[in-house]
A and B are shown apart, each in its own frame.
Chain A
Amino acid sequence: MNPEPVNRIYPMADNFEPLILVFCCKYCPSCSVDLARSAKLQYPHSIKIIKVSCIGAVGTIHILKALENGADGVCLMGCLEENCEYSTGSLRARKRVQYVKKLLGKLSIEQERLEMYNLAAAEAHRFCELVREITETVRTLGPIPR
């Protein structure tokens, strides 16, 4: 639960490669990722994908620790709410992300660093688009001052 802090040097914003931690549940979003990879679609290499059983199992603590220990942005990818294998996981994750965004606000951390998306299984292109989008947003915001 305590990942090694990532030591990096951030000289200037334009050389900044944001590190985005992408939590994907093992159902639809992982499938989109696999499809994207096998179709050799381009997406930013500076993301780290973590597969979880259900996106609802990603807790507030995981998101905070990710940002604390080196991630510049965190992205949660879950199934469409009506397709959640465990019924409520995707919905719980959405509510949790809304809550954590408020916590980030109290820390004066930009809320755009954290996003939740719902993916269907064949959305390889959309996965790449979304990941590119959040990477660019976080790139503009710069690294979290540390």
Chain B
Amino acid sequence: MIVGQQKDFGEIKKMIGAYKRILVLGCQTCVAISFAGGKREVEILASMIRMDRKMAGQDIEIIEEAILRQCDFEFLDSVKDMVADCDAVLSLACGVGVQAMAERYPDKVILPGINTTFMGLTEEMGIWSERCAGCGDCVLDRTGGLCPIARCSKGLLNGPCGGSVNGKCEISPDVDCVWQLIIDRLKTLNQLEKLEEIFPVKDWGVSGHGGTRKIVRKDLTA
């Protein structure tokens, strides 16, 4: 899922500036699961903003709401009236949701309350880690199910660098060297020879470095 992290309060405060009436809109899917933008976080953030304003002797009215997803326009329609009613929207969705909101409501200022960080998973409650870089050309079959693009600090595709010591990456003793993990995993799967196969150069054109991506499925379009 997409993992996000709420922006620093100081930054949010600056963004909402002097608006008198805002809608804090949460998203109940990915960002809720990463405890950054679900209904729970919407309420907490709203309370903080109100207290902050009161302490400065000013007022603010906050509408608190959360919808299932902000990346589907049908859901966005459901908050039409609330959006119309406010000066600005502080969206706690990921970057996709914020942009969808901006597209749907082009006349309204839509502010991002979250930094969208990575695609990853929940290791345990409270701990999320990156797994996928969205490169568009998945190589997990060759690496025993471990992604060197997302998890290797240098994005190497051909094995560990010289900085890999005791299975740890040279950038930090807390970071595993994914290539060590790959080698161990391929050993378990009896697939070590995959490391010796020659593959063509990776097409980075589909990774986003070649421009914004779009997928069209003619069999599904109207």
Contacts and interface: CB of A to CB of B under 8 A. Distances in A.
Chains A and B share a contact (CB less than 8 Å):
yes
Interface of A: 59-61, 64-65, 67-68, 103, 106-109, 144-146
B10 interface: yes
Contacts of B191: none
B93 to A, nearest CB: 20
A61 B55 contact: no
B40 A107 contact: no
Contacts of B10: 106
Contacts of A68: 47, 50-51, 54
29 contacts: A60-B44, A61-B40, A61-B43, A61-B44, A61-B47, A64-B44, A64-B51, A68-B50, A68-B51, A68-B54, A103-B9, A103-B48, A106-B8, A106-B9, A106-B10, A106-B48, A107-B48, A107-B52, A107-B55, A108-B55, A109-B51, A109-B55, A144-B51, A144-B55, A145-B54, A145-B55, A145-B57, A146-B54, A146-B55
Measured as residues with beta carbon below 8 angstroms from the partner, the interface class of chain B is: 10 to 19
Nearest to A108: B55
B64 to A, nearest CB: 11
A49 to B, nearest CB: 22
Contacts, number: 38
Interface in B9-23: 9-10
B47 A65 contact: yes
Contacts of B40: 59, 61
A106 B161 CA distance: 41
Interface in B45-61: 47-48, 50-52, 54-55, 57
Contacts of A60: 44
A116 to B, nearest CB: 18
Nearest to B49: A107
B113 to A, nearest CB: 14
For the complex of A and B, 8 pairs with smallest distance between CB atoms: A64-B47, A106-B9, A145-B55, A146-B54, A68-B51, A61-B43, A107-B52, A60-B44
A145 B10 CA distance: 19
A144 B55 CA distance: 7
B147 to A, nearest CB: 31
Contacts of B48: 64, 103, 106-107
A64 B51 CA distance: 9
Nearest to B57: A145
Nearest to A66: B47
Contacts of A146: 54-55
A109 B50 CA distance: 13
Contacts of A107: 9, 48, 51-52, 55
A52 B105 CA distance: 43
Given A64-B47, A68-B47, A107-B55, 18 more contacts: A60-B44, A61-B40, A61-B44, A61-B47, A64-B44, A64-B51, A67-B51, A68-B51, A68-B54, A106-B9, A106-B10, A106-B48, A107-B52, A109-B51, A144-B55, A145-B54, A145-B57, A146-B54
B11 to A, nearest CB: 10
Contacts of A64: 44, 47-48, 51
Contacts of B47: 61, 64-65, 68
Contacts of A67: 51
A65 B64 CA distance: 14
A106 to B, nearest CB: 4
A106 B48 CA distance: 9
